[in-house]
Amino acid sequence: MSGPLDVSVHREGLVPATAKDIWRALTDPDARVEVFSMVSQAVTEEGLPGEVGHVLQLTERVAGSEPVVVRLTTTASDPYRRLVQERVGPDGTFTSTTFLSESEDGTLVRRVFHVYHPDPSLAERAMRKAVATFFSLGGTVRLKADIGDLIRHFS
């Protein structure tokens, strides 16, 4: 097997809140803990929330597992419309992109997790299908939980 490892997971939901409120929930450390059930602690390591270069350190806990530390670095920002963060944690490195589209009914939140390795190792090549399946399932569960948390918080 040759070629890059390239997997994306997409989820979306209509959240009964403004794009500004959702933006704050995604970028502000205190709001992140308040809104997202998997996050038990969040602190800014450097930069300003929502701006390129902002580094957010999160402690996450998934039911039945030990807490893990994750770092989110904002790599692109179009306030209240698009937020791109690189996520580094024990489950690997990937990109999380959030698109916000406000309407009179609330804000459509579309989240995409994307992992790309241009030249995966021999082991990654051999495990390509398993890696892709694991990432897709884990990403699907996480994104579904994230959007569910936003909807519950703002309802």
**Cross-strand bridge partners of residue 84:** 76, 97
The CATH code of the domain that includes 139 is 3.30.530.20
pLDDT above 90 covers what percent of the chain?
A: 63
Instruction: Looking at the chain, list the stretches that DSSP marks H as alpha helix, in order from N- to C-terminal side.
Output: 19-27, 29-35, 122-126, 128-154
| Distance in angstroms (rounded) separating the CA atoms of residues 133 and 118 | 18
How many residues belong to the chain? 155
Distance between CA atoms of residues 121 and 99, nearest Å: 32
Which residues constitute the domain of residue 78?
5-154
pLDDT band at 127 (very low <50, low <70, confident <90, very high): low
The count of structural domains within the chain is: 1
Alpha-carbon dihedral sign for residues 132, 137, 141, 143: positive
Task: Assign 155 a pLDDT band (cuts: 50, 70, 90).
Answer: very high
- Calpha distance 134→139 (Å, rounded): 8
pTM: 0.86
For residue 72, list its beta bridge partners. Answer: 56, 87
